[in-house]
Homo-oligomer: A and B are copies of this chain.
Amino acid sequence: MQKDPIHLTNHILGAGAKAGAVDVAAAASRNSVNGVSLPIVDPHSAEAFRRRSLCSFDQPGVVMTKLPQELEDSQHEFGSKLVVIMVGLPARGKSYLVKKLQRYLTWLQYDTKVFNVGNRRRTASKGDNKNGTSHSHAFFDPQNKAAKTIRDELALESLEELIAWLKQGGRVGIHDATNSSRERRKMLLNRLESEPNCRVLFIESICTDPVVLSHNISMKLSSPDYKGMDEKTARDDFRKRLENYERSYQTLGEDDEEDGIQYCKLINVGKKVIAYNIQGYLAGQCIFYLMNFNLSPRCIWLTRHGESVDNIVGKIGDAPLSAKGKKYGACLSRFIKQQRKENERSRRVEAEAGMAISPQREKTVAVWTSMLTRTKETVEEFDPKEYDIKHIRFLNEIYAGICEGLSYSQIEQLYPEEYEARRVSKLFYRYPGMGGESYLDVIQRLNPLIIELERMTSDLLIVTHRVVLRILLGYLMDIDRSKMPDMDVHLHTVYCVEPKPHGTVVRKFRWVEELDWFVEETVEK
């Protein structure tokens, strides 16, 4: 299932790696998990090791746990494993949250998978349920005992699938369903009691904002459940389905607290957050991420610096811009100005049509560059009075250790083994020498920036470097980790990323020197 399991790749992690050290984690051999007391085990056993690795410090590639020799072959059993159980009425943005969380955790290199119960219901009903009752509101009536049994069965089947996947080496499994009654949640917890190696985190999404709610409901009507149905019938059915859910809905609260679980309630897209009993490292990361995002409409433009003197000769180093590079920077400032005007226009139109689900609060555009000469020179034409310009060390290019300042062909000549190791796996390869970095190291240092990017509401231009740009696009465009390190990101090209409620819209603009302007190109992912 895991094509490039991080567990097995420490031997190519460079300076930091050694046999017997893997990136699983540990801190606590607690004797209670998910509120359930566990039998005491020999503290030196594999079982104890597995348990304490459940909720501890664990950042793929940056933290490595030294395993006892006899356990080295079962590395995939260790490390934090998290079962996220979603809670909430339909149309409360659960699946949106789930997708976002999956994208973030996957980017941080925790294998994450979503197990959606609604999809399972639709698949299951295709054969044996031709009259479609498993989609109509009657199916969701809490008094409909037969339907309830089917719904519970579907939820448990999804959970079984999730558990099996975690055992094969997955790290975070997300159970995406309404799970809106305490009875249902108890049922899932009961099943998980016999899985001491999974931590559980409940995440409930509550939405009381009428604008967001009505927007969500409109989106629901284009779901496969209502395919081919006219809008009025669909809306009517969905309203009844909601009422059925509401009749048995029990929000996470003091009763659940007695079960000793950990949970997080998100009210109105992070406006209010209630976190209870959060214990694991990974659970804390999830919640910090979810606390910080917002739905403001905005653009994120990303580009590499203009051509530097080193680029011309194919060297890695901190050189100033060439004449062409400077020309690019000047055109970039005119281009962003024009883009801002277009955005203002289209947002005004959206707002007037009542389509904006969140007000556009800020007109300032932030500009982030690295601290290296070539990115700072690229934004020299941007006026600090108009733009909020920041130079941020985290955006510096990957540091190539002893290969710094060499061209790739020089590396091949001088360090053929390093060249080969890098070729085999660019993602895990760490440049040799003090301070040398791997892609994973760069992901970790960019993590606070991603949190900030999600938190802020203004438009943003990022001017950075090849590897950093690949990694940022990897997150924003949800690019598979196997493809991300080989992505073509050319000089003098601007990516324009717009996060929308239904997904991310990406456009790409190439600078044409002869025109001294940008031309839109198709985006391959």
Contacts and interface: CB of A to CB of B under 8 A. Distances in A.
Contacts of A401: 435
Contacts of A384: 20, 66-68
A176 to B, nearest CB: 24
A273 B391 CA distance: 34
Interface string A3-15: 0000000000001
A27 B65 CA distance: 39
A389 interface: yes
Contacts of A15: 318, 371-372
A435 B397 CA distance: 9
B404 A435 contact: yes
A186 to B, nearest CB: 21
B44 A386 contact: yes
A67 B387 CA distance: 10
A16 B275 contact: no
Interface stretch (A97-105, A357-365, A478-486): A357-365
A132 interface: no
A30 B361 contact: yes
A405 to B, nearest CB: 8
B29 A363 contact: yes
A52 B391 contact: no
A281 B452 contact: yes
A388 B26 contact: yes
A366 interface: yes
B62 A434 contact: no
A37 interface: no
B458 A28 contact: yes
A399 B383 CA distance: 34
A385 interface: yes
A109 B308 CA distance: 34
A202 interface: no
Count of chain copies: 2
A210 to B, nearest CB: 17
A56 interface: yes
A207 interface: no
Nearest to A59: B448
A452 B288 CA distance: 13
Contacts of A63: 390-393
Contact of A56 (B26, B68, B372, B456): B456
B391 A66 contact: yes
B456 A57 contact: yes
Instruction: Report the interface size class on chain A.
Output: 35 or more
A391 B435 contact: no
Contact of A362 (B28, B44, B445): B28
Q: Which of A63, A288, A366, A386 has the most CB of B within 10 A?
A: A63
Contact of A274 (B30, B272, B281, B457): B272
Nearest to A401: B435
B385 A455 contact: no
A29 B317 contact: no
A159 B277 CA distance: 34
Contacts of A276: 271-273
Interface string A255-281: 001000000000000011111111001
Nearest to A273: B275
A135 interface: no
A452 B57 contact: yes
A117 to B, nearest CB: 28
Interface string A398-409: 011100110000
B389 A65 contact: yes
Contacts of A28: 361-362, 364, 456-458
A107 to B, nearest CB: 16
Q: Which of A18, A66, A278, A376 has the most CB of B within 10 A?
A: A66
A26 B394 contact: no
A274 B435 CA distance: 40
Interface in A76-131: none
Interface of A: 15-16, 18, 20-21, 25-30, 43-44, 49, 52, 56-57, 59, 62-68, 257, 271-278, 281, 284, 287-288, 291-292, 317-318, 361-364, 366, 371-372, 376, 383-386, 388-394, 396, 399-401, 404-405, 434-435, 437, 441, 444-445, 448, 451-452, 455-458
18 contacts: A16-B371, A26-B364, A26-B388, A27-B458, A29-B363, A30-B361, A43-B363, A52-B388, A62-B393, A63-B391, A66-B389, A67-B384, A272-B276, A275-B275, A393-B444, A399-B434, A435-B437, A445-B445
Given A28-B457, A29-B364, A66-B390, 10 more contacts: A15-B372, A27-B362, A27-B364, A28-B361, A28-B364, A57-B390, A62-B394, A272-B276, A275-B291, A278-B291
Please give me the 5 A-B residue pairs with the lowest Cβ-Cβ distance, nearest first: A16-B371, A399-B435, A26-B388, A66-B389, A435-B435
